[in-house]
Amino acid sequence: MATKGKNTATIVVMFCIAALTAFASIAQADGGGWDGGYGGMHHHHGFKRLENKLGLTDAQKAEVKALFQTNKVAVKPIITNLRAEQKKLRALIYADTVDAAAITNETTTISGIQAELNVNRANVAAQFRKILTTVQLQILKTLHQDHQNTTTTQTPS
């Protein structure tokens, strides 16, 4: 039973961390790239859990929603570009002849786009943290640390 509780807690924390660090994915979920399917709802529910754990006020929820909406607009063209470059890479990988230089160049392009998204995520996460109170920040840090400890102690199946 303790294992089940620990696994559930791990899942909840993973959703929470994903909600904070994957803002680009959240933005994609509502018309930006995942066709509004399961991935979008998955992150939405994870963030709802985080809202509850942090005890966000209605005003904070409104600020966060505005932050996510603004970010969605900013990230959508980046995600569209990433998808196009990933498609090009797949075509190169499965071509009849291997062009190592082209694959390397395309991989470098994709890495640059992913770096841009990661910087965006960090900036949005910093803006999110500014919305929180000192107590909420501490809860968030604890959740993050718990998640880090859980992911580093798990062994692959």
pLDDT in tens, 128-153: 999 999 999 999 999 988 888 887 76
* Count of structural domains, the chain: 1
The pLDDT of residue 43 is 52
Which residue in 87, 86, 88, 73 sits closest to 124, CA to CA? Answer: 73
Closest C-alpha among 131, 151, 150, 123 to residue 55? 131
For position 49, what pLDDT does the model report? 87
Residue 147 has a pLDDT of 82
pLDDT-based confidence at residue 120 (cuts at 50, 70, 90): very high
Do 130 and 52 meet the contact criterion of CB atoms below 8 Å apart?
no
**pLDDT tens for each residue of 1-31:** 455 555 555 554 444 454 444 444 444 444 4
Residue 107 CA from chain centroid, whole number:
21
Mean of pLDDT values over 36-54: 64
Domain of residue 108, residue span:
2-153
Give this prediction's pTM.
0.65
